[in-house]
Amino acid sequence: MIRSLLCALLLTAAVPANAANLVKTYSYFAIGGRTLEDIEQQLAKHGPQVKSTGSRHPGATQMAFTTRISYASQPGSCRIADAVVTVKVKVILPEWRRPRKADADVRLFWDTLSADIKRHEDRHVEIAQNHGRALEDALKAAYPQKDCDAAKARAAAITAAELAKHDRDQVRFDRVEGANFESRILRLLRYRMERIESGQLRPPA
């Protein structure tokens, strides 16, 4: 059961997006449940639905990017004078309404899992923002073209190429996370338990 819950996180979609300037917000969906089985069912029922897979997930990131480009022309040539890339991001995360009688080990597992879900989604945002900066730099460094129609076409080609790199990096990130996810969660659980036993961390309320 735990394995199926962990594997569900790996399906979080990476939506194509790039950004140098970032506007990030968070939203939360409520889940209940007293056991790990309950939590799994709640995530499957109430988690955000991702268009690329058609199924629901423990967390998701919605991204929309805009590119503002200005051009400077002179007889026989046109160049990109400036480019600004902005991404608006909405990170959707679960919020567990803890029952009073939930076992301590379930509370500990949830604290560990929810923190990792947030880290996972935030990393998707970072990857997108890094590629946004790369896109912005590439647009500004583009060579002049014979006219502004050609310059616009060049800007579109640069954007498409950088988006493709972005998509590959997002997929690669999920693949690496998928290969190490279960061992990472177990390691994080052990770390939290050691900190609780040593008094460095309070037990989950």
Q: What does DSSP assign to residue 146?
A: S
Residues 128-178: pLDDT tens digits? 899 989 999 999 999 999 999 999 999 999 999 998 998 898 888 878 887
Which residues are bridge partners to 72 per DSSP?
79
Q: Is residue 41 part of a domain?
A: yes
Reported in sequence order, the residue ranges of the chain that DSSP labels E, i.e. its strands, are 21-31, 60-74, 77-96
Task: Give the pLDDT band of residue 26 (cuts 50, 70, 90).
Answer: very high
How far apart, in whole angstroms, are the C-alpha atoms of residue 50 and residue 12?
Answer: 8
Q: Report yes or no: 123 and 173 within 8 Å, Cβ to Cβ.
A: yes
Q: Report yes or no: 41 and 197 within 8 Å, Cβ to Cβ.
A: no
Q: Is residue 129 part of a domain?
A: yes
Q: Is residue 175 part of a domain?
A: yes
Residue with tokens 């058609």, as numbered in its chain = 54
Q: Is residue 127 part of a domain?
A: yes
Q: Report yes or no: 81 and 53 within 8 Å, Cβ to Cβ.
A: no
Q: Is residue 139 part of a domain?
A: yes
How far apart, in whole angstroms, are the C-alpha atoms of residue 97 and residue 101?
Answer: 12
What's phi and psi for 49, nearest 5 deg?
-90, 125
Q: Is residue 59 part of a domain?
A: yes
Amino acid at 37: E
pLDDT of the residue at 159: 94
Residues 9-22: pLDDT tens digits? 333 333 334 346 89
pTM of the model: 0.77
Residue range 102-114: mean pLDDT, rounded = 85
Q: Is residue 204 part of a domain?
A: no
Range of the domain at 49: 2-197
Q: Is residue 48 part of a domain?
A: yes
Structural domain count of the chain: 1
Question: CA-based angle 37:11:18, to the nearest 5?
Answer: 140
